[in-house]
Structure 1
Amino acid sequence: MPGVQPVTSLTERRKAQTQLEISRRAAELFSARGASSVTAEQIAAAAGIGLRTFYRYFRTKEDSVAPLLAGGVTGWIAHLGDPAAPADETVGQALERATRQALTPSEYPTEEMLEWTRGLLRTVHDEPDLRAVWLRVQHDSEEALVEALTPLMGPDADPLTVRLVAAAANAAMRIAVETWAASDAPVTGPEGPAELAVGCMRRLVDQANARNLEND
């Protein structure tokens, strides 16, 4: 999965930091001007690197925002598998907890990073190549979510059910973040992305339960 990954060596940490810095600068430029009006040279200059170095990390200018877009996803998955989580936590509770942790401003993500993501997502729909990156991040997120949910749902869980839960949760997160990004809502509070995403997940569960009652 693209984005911020667990790293062990000093070289890997420096590489991850450089990738994220490039991603932040690209997000700032794309948000202000639109991706079509920004060049790879401009992103490299804003990040304080040469163009050759830029292309050592990213194939295209649009690819350079993948670490920022995927960073929240990576955090979401990591929080979901937190060994310090309550032993009796349900899958739904785990998803809500991890969602709040991933979308509430902290050391990571910071409020500034969430605002960068907001600006970036506002340009996604008008930039086909940028949207392709966002959709790829979402695909990778769903695949990673399947792996994270499998142990939480137990060894007897039907693989198809696990995939359906992962797809539904991932869609709820995506819709919530896109809805928040399109608004002027604050980063925190009941209208922030964390509570909006939790609300989307609860609505999904409520709709499923209502459908089950109708079929009984």
Structure 2
Amino acid sequence: MSELPSPATARPSLTERRRSETQLEIAAAAAALFAEHGAEATTAEDVARSSGVALRTFYRYFRTKEEAVAPLLAAGGRRWVALIAGSPDDLPVPQVLERAAVEALTPADEEMTRGLLVTRALLTDPGLRTVWQGVHQDSEDELVPVLAARCGPTADPLEVRLAAAAATAAIRVALESWAATDAGTTGTGSPGELAARCVRELTAGLRLWS
């Protein structure tokens, strides 16, 4: 099975893990408040209080209340990239991308279902668009070396970058399209179904694997 580059597979230190846990706790609190009250009506103080940290601690991790949800959104992107990296080597890359997209966006438990539903609420808030775009840019950047490793040393770097951009855009469009509907988290019109369609259509014509 393919592996992520060594920097991405290195085990984080205890301090880094604690930092990530705290950020995710704050992110979960922010997402819940934004979903219930809207980002505009929610203050950084509200988020800090709900997550059980001091306001000073909140600002140690995040510059704005909107940025607080970034770790929660980014977790899904990292899971998708990890699924791609861990797919069997003999599986064609287009199939790898589609299967990983479906798995990453199909909830396997109640926690994942809640996460998708919260994401739907966040995506409808204009104030969070900058954070949303930034998370997807980061995901695209992380995907580039993974695709490069799967495609081999002879792959055109520009084609690899284009493939990463197309695949990431497919996930973003799928989630945004789902957020605008009343479809469930599974079945017809779900994020996983839409992601499979978007990945197929946005990556079908790439020369990298034609």
TM over 0.5: yes
The alignment partner of 2:108 has SS state of: coil
Indicate yes or no: 2:158 matched with 1:160: yes
Task: Determine which of 98, 104, 107 is the counterpart of 1:105.
Answer: 107
Alpha-carbon distance change, 98 to 18 in structure 1, aligned in 2, over 3 angstroms: same
Q: Is the 8 A contact 1:180 1:196 kept in 2?
A: yes
User: Partner amino acid for 2:167?
Assistant: A
**C-alpha distance in structure 2 between counterparts of 1:178 and 1:156, whole Å:** 35
The alignment partner of 1:63 has SS state of: helix
User: Partner amino acid for 1:8?
Assistant: P
Task: Determine which of 33, 40, 43 is the counterpart of 2:37.
Answer: 33
RMSD: 2.0
Q: Is the 8 A contact 2:81 2:142 kept in 1?
A: yes
Task: Determine which of 17, 20, 29 is the counterpart of 2:21.
Answer: 17
**C-alpha distance in structure 1 between counterparts of 2:203 and 2:166, whole Å:** 10
User: Which deviations, in whole Å up to 9, do the C-alpha atoms of 1:47-79 show, x marking residues without a partner?
Assistant: 111111111111111110100111110111111
Alpha-carbon distance change, 22 to 38 in structure 1, aligned in 2, over 3 angstroms: same
Give 1:92 deviation, angstroms: 0.4
TM-score by length of 2: 0.87
User: Counterpart of 1:140?
Assistant: 138
**C-alpha distance in structure 1 between counterparts of 2:151 and 2:11, whole Å:** 28
Give 1:9 deviation, angstroms: 3.2
Structure 2 unaligned spans of 5+:
1-8
Please list every run of at least 4 consecutive aligned residues from structure 1 whose deviation after the TM superposition is greater than 6 angstroms: none
Q: Is the 8 A contact 1:103 1:109 kept in 2?
A: no
Alpha-carbon distance change, 59 to 78 in structure 1, aligned in 2, over 3 angstroms: same
User: Which deviations, in whole Å up to 9, do the C-alpha atoms of 1:119-173 show, x marking residues without a partner?
Assistant: 11111xx22xx21111111111111111111011111000111111111111111
Give 1:13 deviation, angstroms: 2.2
User: Counterpart of 1:200?
Assistant: 198
Structure 1 unaligned spans of 5+:
210-216
**C-alpha distance in structure 1 between counterparts of 2:90 and 2:165, whole Å:** 24
The alignment partner of 1:137 has SS state of: helix
User: Which deviations, in whole Å up to 9, do the C-alpha atoms of 1:20-54 show, x marking residues without a partner?
Assistant: 11111111111222212111000011111111111
**C-alpha distance in structure 2 between counterparts of 1:111 and 1:177, whole Å:** 13
User: Counterpart of 2:189?
Assistant: 191
TM-score by length of 1: 0.85
**C-alpha distance in structure 2 between counterparts of 1:108 and 1:59, whole Å:** 30
Matched positions, count? 198
Task: Determine which of 119, 122, 129 is the counterpart of 1:120.
Answer: 122
**C-alpha distance in structure 1 between counterparts of 2:61 and 2:41, whole Å:** 21
Alpha-carbon distance change, 86 to 7 in structure 1, aligned in 2, over 3 angstroms: closer
**C-alpha distance in structure 1 between counterparts of 2:194 and 2:28, whole Å:** 24
Give 1:12 deviation, angstroms: 2.4
User: Partner amino acid for 2:130?
Assistant: A
**C-alpha distance in structure 2 between counterparts of 1:81 and 1:108, whole Å:** 25
